[in-house]
Chain A
Amino acid sequence: MDKKVESIVQALQEKFGATLEEFRGEAHVFVRPEQIVDVLTLLRDTYKFELLSALTASDYWPQDAPRFHVIYQLSSLVENITMQIRVPVPAGGDQKPKVPTATGVYDLANWREREVADMFGIEFEGHPDPRRILMPVDWEGHPLRKDYPLGYEEPQFTFNFEDIDVRKPYAKE
């Protein structure tokens, strides 16, 4: 791990009680959802992470606590370092996944949070424009969740052409 990153991780551990996981020399820092705005503000203002390169999520279904990780990939162009902040989000039963919005810290987070909300159904509390961004407005469900059906249709070949043709919808003039 980079020396500069190491000192930043140490600061985060002392200040927020963050935990560190290292993967192939890359730092993954885990923080709690309610801390994320403070963590990002600190990293941006003090440690010169001026760019939020990516904001995405990962679904660990059928695991419940945490079911999702919301992932913030930060870059510092000045220091030439990158860093990943992960927020574990519990979900399951009636509990809805919720994370405070980062739009106040990085403007870039706006559309990326909309994408994560659209694809994973994670609510970003306080988001200024919480509409769907990719799927049609009347879409049901969140396609990138692991428990979302693929919508697989049986391919039509010569041997089963007739069977499928009967139930296939055809458009009219």
Chain B
Amino acid sequence: MGVEQKLGDMGIVTTKLEELVNWSRTNAMWPMLFGLACCAIEMMAAQASHFDMSRFGMELMRASPRQSDLMIVAGRVTRKMAPVLRLLYDQMPEPKWVIAMGDCASCGGVFNNYAVVQGVDEVVPVDVYVAGCPPRPEALIHGVVTLYEKVKGEKFKDLAKA
């Protein structure tokens, strides 16, 4: 394998700080509960023992935005709910990410009418869109792993710019 095997006896691993921080972020991501519709049932299933999302470091679904760094918007967002969603997003500490789970959160889905926001990206910046109506737990987990790949590629200098 790599250098860590050869240096293992010495208790030392060399890496870049950037990679270490990104790695630690990916493996301790706490999602915020934002179940709005039927997608929330699949989100619960992804958490439960059969699919077990805690394999990827997502042990806890937090009810408070202050304790979470990933928002999984599971379900349709009505125009009445949109200000609440944005408020909770603003209350989350940096760094933070958003997954739009399911067709309704991604683009309005079948609810193309006056009451439903056509894609939650009108309200909060979305990192990963998960398709499906509702997506199976595997699809959500794939979305989360895709987000991990994105987080691992983040550069400090880009964060400083923003």
Is the Cβ of B113 less than 8 Å from the Cβ of A173? no
Task: Give the interface SS of chain B, mostly helix, strand, loop or mixed.
Answer: loop
Measured CB to CB, the nearest residue on chain A to B86 is A171
Give the contacts of A118-173 with B (CB-CB under 8 A): 135-136, 143, 148-153, 155-156, 168-173
A-B CB pair tally, cutoff 8 Å: 36
3 smallest CB-CB distances across A and B, nearest first, come from: A151-B114, A136-B80, A153-B118
Q: Which of A136, A150, A156, A173 contacts B125 (CB 8 A)?
A: A173
Task: Give the interface SS of chain A, mostly helix, strand, loop or mixed.
Answer: loop
Interface string of B89-128 (1 = CB under 8 A from A): 0000000000000000001100011110011011111000
In the complex, which range does the number of interface residues on chain A fall in? 10 to 19
In the bound complex, how far is the Cα of B121 from the Cα of A153, in angstroms?
A: 15
Is the Cβ of A136 less than 8 Å from the Cβ of B122? no
| Chain A residues with CB below 8 A from B121, complex form | 170-171
In the bound complex, how far is the Cα of B122 from the Cα of A105, in angstroms?
A: 45
Is the Cβ of B122 less than 8 Å from the Cβ of A169? yes
With A143-B114, A143-B115, A155-B112: A172-B125 Cβ-Cβ less than 8 Å: yes
Q: Show 29 A/B contacts (Cβ-Cβ < 8 Å), sorted by A.
A: A135-B80, A135-B115, A136-B79, A136-B80, A143-B114, A143-B115, A148-B114, A150-B113, A150-B114, A151-B113, A151-B114, A152-B112, A153-B108, A153-B112, A153-B118, A155-B112, A156-B107, A168-B122, A169-B122, A170-B121, A170-B122, A170-B125, A171-B86, A171-B121, A171-B123, A171-B124, A171-B125, A172-B125, A173-B125
